Structure 1
């Protein structure tokens, strides 16, 4: 874990690196939580076994102990500021994150030279407001992109996503945090295996 100064304040990176990583996956958190999110923790635990280094990134507002995320522009400023630290190992870097973190990754990927984008629970629109689409951020990423989306995500179900140059993996029954109802017959471990499996297969195709 180390702290990186950015123009938006100090950010923090928690690394999990295998002995000989092939690439780095940088993951930002959402606006309602931090790097303790179940999917981020699962990816950090599973992917290094496949040669993928994982960097969990805490935005400055979380490091400072604030409860409300700042404007998207400020999130992007922080992400750009810590990018040199993510590329320091000299490996290709895949930008990623969940929810608001996925939006940051999409908005900045092309300009930063990211190898690709992993978008977890991309918030296509606010709940109940499909007319407030953020599809342009996803479609404008400009690099290979994988969206991993819950089948019952109120921020955008898989069927609502427009066609485009990206891949989409559905976690059936999953909500915005990939929680599933009991009737799904799936345990949390099984759901996380679906998330990490989809991400792992896609990342393997990049190198």
Structure 2
């Protein structure tokens, strides 16, 4: 929210060149804050899931330390999936196999290569159940988000005394932009939490399978 306010004030009070510089600067701040917050959410979700105590004083510092590796893992994952999508099937497989790599790099504080390797191990042989749960999760999240967005549109149009069509075709006002920004902030943690819970579930299943395989080999 802070970068948004800074950016807004810059466009109101500064000349075009300075405002553009501030926009780039605040975009960088937003990216850094996003990955810091993502690391915080991943850690908190895992801690709450495992019912473990957490040192809230260290949480922010540790999350800053993990923000850059998380960014790199997310970027590498995006590149792999994007390149794979050129042939469609590899892209879908990469999407499934490595979907936990960013989460792993936060929770295990490991290297980029180890995070992708561990993600592949966890998802091996579980592609269909995983993609099903991803699709269902995305569908539910998108549906809820769109419903809230439409309801917000009706509310704004009613308060302003205009039709929904006029609201959609006219440039967004400051109030509309602010509400949209707040809505995105409110919904942003949900996919992160869902992905983290998926990882914890599949990781637990994989660990059990490893124990079974070891006992069978004996």
Verify same fold: TM over 0.5: no
Greater helix proportion = 2
Q: TM-score of the superposition, structure 1-length normalised?
A: 0.30
Greater strand proportion = 1
Q: TM-score of the superposition, structure 2-length normalised?
A: 0.29
